[in-house]
Amino acid sequence: MADLLKGKIAIVTGAGSGMGRQISELFVKEGAKVMLADINPDGLKQTAAEIDAKGDATSTVITNVAKEADIVNMVKQTIDTYSKVDILVNNAGIVDNIKTVENMTDDVWDRVLAINLTGPFKAAREVIKYMLQQKDGGNIINMASVGGLFGSRGGVAYTATKHGIIGLTKNIAATYGIYHHIRSNAIAPGNIATNIQKTINDPDELGMKAMSAIGGMTAPGGKPEQIAQVALFLASDQSKFVNGAVITADGGWTAM
């Protein structure tokens, strides 16, 4: 243990599985206390049991990031429990079956935007209220995607939200990072083995054709713990001069 996050308080959304669980586990190992947030209570319990058997380093809060009241409660519980919040990891997200514009329904569009973009915006807005009052400011890490860098790494709603999350990240960095002490960076994972892939159950034919054309079906596979290592770097003082960056972690897929 290097204690890179000793004394830090973090919120991780989507902590009930996948990258969120691995990020939370690594943060705890590095000395942080973590508010585990997820819509799935069973996933939360499992994460807490696996990474913090004694219950000393984590707390849990059931959170649907599509609901503003849940986001406000998530941050309030963090402040009530730990008196501050140093790090927000906006990790929760969903995919859209790689649907193209003509096959995208209003319901799916609205849901993907609410979870992938509006939720992170509202979470950032809520924590910034407290971070502005803290001497050391704070640190916001947003989970983007290679889908936010290109046009054919996902469906239209997913792609739009991941481009949007990069814009959100850079705007926070250019304002609060420059004129206050609140850093904001994003991670753009490629093909990572998580439960989110299991929700692709009705892929769009044209969307899949476009994905296949750029090697999407043979993209290098990564593990959630590899993304957690990137998150740790961004959360720690090792990246103190990194602000407004998008770190691509895709095994070289987009370099081809």
Residues with catalytic roles: 158
Type of residue found at 100: T
Q: DSSP assignment of the chain, as one string?
A: ---TTTT-EEEEETTTSHHHHHHHHHHHHTT-EEEEEES-HHHHHHHHHHH-TTSSSEEEEE--TT-HHHHHHHHHHHHHHHS---EEEE------TT--GGG--HHHHHHHHIIIIIHHHHHHHHHHHHHTTSTT-EEEEEE--GGGTSSSSS-HHHHHHHHHHHHHHHHHIIIIIHHSSEEEEEEEE-EE-SGGGGG--S--HHHHHHHHHTTGGGPPEE-HHHHHHHHHHHHSGGGTT--S-EEEESTTGGG-
